[in-house]
Amino acid sequence: MKRLIYLINLTIVLISGEVTAQDKKWTLEDCINYAVTNNINLQRQQLLTEQAEVNFLKSKLDVLPTLNTGTYVDLGFGRTVNPVTNLITFKQNLSNYYSLNSSVDLFNGLTTLNSIQANKFLLKAGMESEKVSRNTLVVEILGQYYQVIYTKGLEQAAKMQLEQSEKQLFRITKMVETGKEALSKQYEMESRASSDRLAYTVSMSKASQALTTLRQMLQISAGSDFDVVMPDLNTMIITDNDYRADSVYTVAAQVLPRLRAIEFELQASNKQYAASKGYVSPRISVSGSIYTGYYKVMNEAGLAQDPFTTQLKNNNSQAVSLSLYIPIFNNYTTGRNIKLARIKRDDTSLRLELEKNNLFTEIENACLDFNRGKDEYMAASSNLEFNKKSFNAVEKKFESGLVDVTDYAAAKTTLFTAETELLRTKLQVMIRKLTIQLYSTGDYQNIIYN
């Protein structure tokens, strides 16, 4: 398969570590690692996970008592009340008050505890959703990387076709110059070479476009000298593995984050439903407070007044209160919230079942495509071998003058088609295998590091 010698082995990891587009060509591992680290959508998903973590911490701290302190200063003019004597005065005065308050819920229908559990599951769901976004990005990178390799393989095959036509054109031109071939045969060969040159130009454009699309998916700036590694196609081994949809699904249902995320959301919605029902129960809370203050009559130099610290000590007062709150009617607010929480829970449950059905369908199609793809690859491989033998025979006859340019071009086109078909089927089998492995492991690292 020397015509396809520059094609990639998608399953071999050649180089580890970070890379930049300016210093070397990129492997599949490089592309995936760069995308996972730098993709903006993934970074936004990470922020959503951090937000869920903040909400979880807040719900846990809701069980602690509140503690607040405050102070204010009041400068009085005209008619005021002396807080020391409780008499009305018209003298200018200064009042300074301090307070310390604390309260805690003793019972609130387990709303706080259920909210803590709900936010814990939402945090877990956010972490799984982050993995889902990452795996989705990896699948997209895999597909586009495959497309780059495929178009580059077509480009290389078209280049080999052009080189072969130019070689024959050179041979025929020399024979025309010596009078051994008619000029018309040279024109026919020039036409064939021109067609191959056009095909090569088109294939280069398609390869460049595929590479540009991959670069854009990686969000690399347009000025970067971006290219991918093209290892030997012969190192890509197609195994005889057969995948069964039920076996793959059994594993995928346990490890895939796309299912775990919804399962955690379902658990969170159950706790949110329980928390909403807690608002119909009575609430008991206890609170305590400490007050003190300072009072001074202004512009009274001869008036005996206690100093600041003495007044703060003497004016100190404390209070402890116990409150009971019984909801009776709140304009259907609580009832509405309970029903909405139940609807959300039921909808999440249905979404989980739908996702399971969709996942099984995807896995079944992936397994069938992989098994069919192997058969296509074996057929394409045999077809290429036969076409190579046939083309070699036609080429010898063409050089001997036993067949014309039309027959030679037809044989060369058939060989080109066989080569590109082998490339397509082989890469397709590899990408489908990687996809099934992703279903089976739930994490992209298991397919690029193994």
The residues spanned by each domain of the chain are 2-69+109-282+332-448
φ/ψ of residue 261, rounded to 5 = -60, -45
Count Cβ neighbours within 10 Å for each residue of 68-83 and write b for 16 or more, e otherwise. eeeeeeeebeeeeeee
Sign of CA dihedral 363, 369, 371, 374: negative
Question: What is the reported pLDDT for 447?
Answer: 64
φ/ψ of residue 162, rounded to 5 = -65, -45
Question: What is the reported pLDDT for 14?
Answer: 34
Say what the pTM is. Answer: 0.80
Question: What is the reported pLDDT for 448?
Answer: 62
Indicate the burial class of 399 (C-beta count within 10 angstroms; 0-12, 13-18, 19 or more).
Answer: middle
CB-based contact 67:103 (threshold 8 Å) = no
Question: What is the reported pLDDT for 356?
Answer: 95
211-217, long-range: CB within 8 Å, 24+ apart, which pairs? 211/148, 211/151, 211/152, 213/144, 213/147, 214/31, 214/141, 214/144, 214/145, 214/147, 214/148, 215/21, 217/35, 217/140, 217/141, 217/144
Residues in the chain predicted with pLDDT less than 50, given as ranges, are 1-22
Query: What H or E segment, with its residue span, contains residue 136?
Result: helix 111-177
Of the options 3.30.43.10, 1.20.1600.10, 3.90.340.10, 3.30.70.100, the CATH number for the domain spanning 2-69+109-282+332-448: 1.20.1600.10
Pairing, β 93-107 against β 317-325: unpaired
